[in-house]
Amino acid sequence: MGDPSPSREQLLEWYRQMYLIRRFEEVAAKAYTQRKIMGFCHLYIGQEAVAVGVSAALRATDVVVGGYRIHGQIMARGVSPRAIMAELFGKDPGVCRGVGGSMHMASQEHAFWGGYGIVGGHIPLAVGAAFKNKYLKDGGASLVYFGDGASNQGAFFEAMALAELWKLPCVFLLENNYYAMGTSIERQSAITDLARRADGVGMKHWQCGGFDVAEVYDNVAKAAEHARSGQGPVLLEVLCYRYRGHSMSDPAKYRKSGELDEKKKHDCLLLCEDHLTPHGVGEADLAKVREAVDAVVQDAYEFADAAAEADPALLYDFVLHGGTS
């Protein structure tokens, strides 16, 4: 069960992780404009509290599956900024040896099986992982991240139907950031409170805020506990917002005027600062945390920049089991 009042140390660690993801993404955006990162690149800025709250609430062995907006999600699982930046740069020390790139990152060691560009196509994989948990009775659970747009896909409904029928320990974590590329939620779905989609299969569901990391933590912990207890999966809709465009090529001109500024008033770092104030943590303490993180991200950038290119001989490895070499 989630702890309603996290400790000073816990909050400081969450603040550090959220700021790390934000700073990392800002530097990745810069590297993209320098053409050091090629191809698609979907930034997570604005949604940091979701990944950090999720990771804090799960066990290290629980399988997590992500889509394509995954830099922050895999970092919150503990993969190093160096390995993620090198992956973005297409370099050999990347978490997938530089052959995956922004959209295709996974780490067996961190039980993160992310990296799918087919919207919604990855959701059934988490149900398979949850089936394994149930079959082996190992007490584990799985969690899958996906967006509001993905919740229109057939694979999502099929995955929910089977997971509920078999009472599998799976958390469906819907990050509702109100847009699917440039299409607002009102223009893509007849209902806008998307958690209700689980009603069709009789699955437990609820909604929570995605700006306050403590709130995300608490709700994911409750959802995971429900799933592990044998009562069945949960669809948890987390209301969040992405500050940048859909990908690096999107100037995000489709937003309502003033919408972004309004959302930023609830920024996850500001809310976390509010939680820290009663613990006696002030701006000077936070500046120290940010300074240390800035150095870590700068190091990741320099490491990735200097690293060897991905090895072309690996091109067909990781595609078929056992590779071709």
Ligand X SMILES: Cc1ncc(C[n+]2csc(CCOP(=O)(O)OP(=O)(O)O)c2C)c(N)n1
Q: In a 3-state reduction of DSSP, which class is residue 56? A: helix
Residue 122 Cβ, how far from ligand X at the closest point, in Å?
11
Kindly state whether residue 177 participates in binding Mg ion, applying the rule CB under 5 A: yes
Distance CA 211, CA 76 (A): 16
For Mg ion, the closer of residues 112 and 178 by Cβ is: 178
For ligand X, the closer of residues 42 and 110 by Cβ is: 42
Kindly state whether residue 119 participates in binding ligand X, applying the rule CB under 6 A: yes
Question: In this chain, which of 180, 198, 268, 271 binds ligand X, going by CB under 6 A?
Answer: 180
> Taking each helix axis from N to C terminus, what angle separates 81-88 and 283-306, rounded to the nearest 10 degrees?
50
Tokens standing for 205?
A: 């569901």
Kindly state whether residue 244 participates in binding ligand X, applying the rule CB under 6 A: no
Residue 9 Cβ, how far from Mg ion at the closest point, in Å?
33
Distance CA 96, CA 115 (A): 10
For Mg ion, the closer of residues 55 and 189 by Cβ is: 189
Number of Cα atoms under 13 Å in the Cβ half of residue 293: 22
Phi, psi (degrees; rounded to nearest 5) at 8: -55, -45
Question: In this chain, which of 48, 62, 87, 148 binds ligand X, going by CB under 6 A?
Answer: 148
Cβ contact 69:245 at 8 Å: no
Question: In this chain, which of 29, 161, 181, 260 binds ligand X, going by CB under 6 A?
Answer: 181
Residue 272 Cβ, how far from ligand X at the closest point, in Å?
22
Residue span 227-266 as binding mask against Mg ion, x where in contact by CB under 5 A, dash where not:
----------------------------------------
β partners of residue 197: none
Q: Is the dihedral of CA 207, 212, 213, 218 positive or negative?
A: negative
Residue 278 Cα distances to 2, 18, 38, 46, angstroms: 20, 20, 44, 24
Reference 147, options 256, 238, 21, 22; nearest CA is 238
Phi, psi (degrees; rounded to nearest 5) at 292: -65, -40
Residue span 59-88 as binding mask against ligand X, x where in contact by CB under 6 A, dash where not:
----------x-------------------
Residue 153 Cβ, how far from ligand X at the closest point, in Å?
7
Kindly state whether residue 149 participates in binding ligand X, applying the rule CB under 6 A: yes
For ligand X, the closer of residues 180 and 293 by Cβ is: 180
Residue 298 Cα distances to 24, 179, 191, 301, 302, angstroms: 9, 31, 43, 5, 6
Question: In this chain, which of 25, 148, 212, 237 binds Mg ion, going by CB under 5 A?
Answer: 148
- The region of 22-30, 53-61, 177-185, 277-285 touching ligand X under the rule CB under 6 A is 177-185
Reference 179, options 224, 258, 241; nearest CA is 241
Kindly state whether residue 179 participates in binding ligand X, applying the rule CB under 6 A: yes
For ligand X, the closer of residues 147 and 232 by Cβ is: 147
The size of the interface with ligand X (CB under 6 A), counted in residues, is 14
Binding site for ligand X (CB under 6 A): 69, 117-119, 146-150, 177, 179-181, 246
